[in-house]
Amino acid sequence: MGLFGYMLRSRTAGVVSSNFYVIPGPTAVLAWLVLGETLTPTAVAGFFLSSIGVWLAQREAPSP
Amino acid sequence: MPPRLVQRVLVPAGFIFLWSSAYIVVRMGLPDMSPIASLALRFAVATVVLVILARAMGPPLTVLGNRWPHFAVAGALMNGIYPRHRLRGASVSRGGHHGTPRLPQPHADGAPGLGPARRAHAASQWLGLGLGVAGVVLVVGRAPMPGQSVAAALLAVSGIVAFAMGTIYFRRHCGSGALLAGNAVQMARRASSAPCSRPPWRRST
């Protein structure tokens, strides 16, 4: 949360919060690597899609 | 190192990695430690680390002065309710589910008139948030979400609303000043309340 607070200092709340959309993807990848959980191609596609979405959400973010 | 690289890439990447790996740590520790104990231990360790870092790198903790209650309030709002749902999820769900209870939060934080600067998202930003939701839905797939009950749903919604309020509160009242010391206050507040985070649907078992 320290990093979350650091980001909130320079960017808007909505833009910073958009980072949460990426979290399920890396979590699924880490769970596959470490815990041996199933990682489907659909999940990988979703990871890339959410990454693009977050990049788009942050790209033209106005600085307060 | 260019400040823009740190602010736009390294810090978000570190944030995403820490949140992603939290699920792995909780799942790996489940056989030996309850999720509640894991949560309390994590917050306690984080408090100690932040206090040490604040003492070593930043101004003294007293720099917060009478502003420390703002950090405590932000910590309570941002993690007073949400960890209950998160703990339940980490206990019973797959990795991809981690973080999904926060799905509507960026939309709530960025809704017109709600942001700290009362600034609405641009159209491309809304498109990006929409793609973010679609991507998460693909990651989660059609597997059942944990805690599919009215109580769990209400708790998840309450957690999202509280976190959004906490985010905005932090932005308004804690945005400037000693971040490390302020986060130590937040973590201490969470560590003290973690034992109360037992999901209500598990109290009878």
Asked if residue A64 belongs to a domain, the reply is no
Q: In the structure, what pLDDT confidence band is assigned to residue B8 with cuts at 50, 70 and 90?
A: confident
CB contact, 8 Å: A1 with chain B? yes
CB contact, 8 Å: A9 with chain B? yes
Q: Could you give the percent of chain B with pLDDT greater than 90?
A: 0
CA A53 to chain centre: 9
Specify the higher pLDDT residue, B116 or B143.
B143
Mean pLDDT, residues B76-88 taken together: 64
Q: Which residue has the tokens 């906490």?
A: B166
Q: How many domains does chain A have?
A: 1
Q: What is the pLDDT of residue A9?
A: 75
| Domain range for A54 | 2-59
| Cβ atoms B102, A24 nearer than 8 A | no
Cα angle B184, B62, B55; round to 5: 55
For the CA atoms of B138, A41, B142, B109, the dihedral, rounded to the nearest 10 degrees, stands at -20
CB contact, 8 Å: A36 with chain B? no
Largest CA distance in chain A: 43
Asked if residue A6 belongs to a domain, the reply is yes
Global pTM reads 0.69
Q: What is the pLDDT of residue B86?
A: 58
Q: What single-letter DSSP state applies at residue B120? A: P
Q: In the structure, what pLDDT confidence band is assigned to residue B142 with cuts at 50, 70 and 90?
A: low
Question: For residue B120, is pLDDT > 60?
Answer: no
CB distance A1–B182 less than 8 Å?
no
CB distance B95–A50 less than 8 Å?
no
Q: What is the pLDDT of residue B4?
A: 77
Asked if residue A41 belongs to a domain, the reply is yes
**At residue A5, what is the residue type?**
G
User: What are the pLDDT digits (tens) for A15-56?
Assistant: 888 888 888 888 888 888 888 888 888 888 888 888 888 888
Q: What is the pLDDT of residue B115?
A: 46
Cα angle B186, B1, A17; round to 5: 40
Mean pLDDT, residues B87-100 taken together: 54
Asked if residue A30 belongs to a domain, the reply is yes
User: What are the pLDDT digits (tens) for B49-81?
Assistant: 877 877 777 666 666 667 777 877 877 777 766
Helix pair angle (B82-92, B68-79), 10° resolution: 40
Q: Model ipTM?
A: 0.85
- Smallest CA–CA distance from A6 into chain B, residue: B179
* Residue B143, helix vs strand vs coil: coil
User: What are the pLDDT digits (tens) for B180-197?
Assistant: 777 777 677 666 665 555
Q: And the tokens for A1?
A: 């949360």
> Which chain B residues are within 8 Å of A23, Cβ to Cβ?
16, 19-20, 98-99
Asked if residue A7 belongs to a domain, the reply is yes
- Smallest CA–CA distance from B167 into chain A, residue: A13
Question: For residue B107, is pLDDT > 60?
Answer: no
Q: What is the pLDDT of residue B41?
A: 79
Asked if residue A8 belongs to a domain, the reply is yes
Q: What is the pLDDT of residue B21?
A: 83
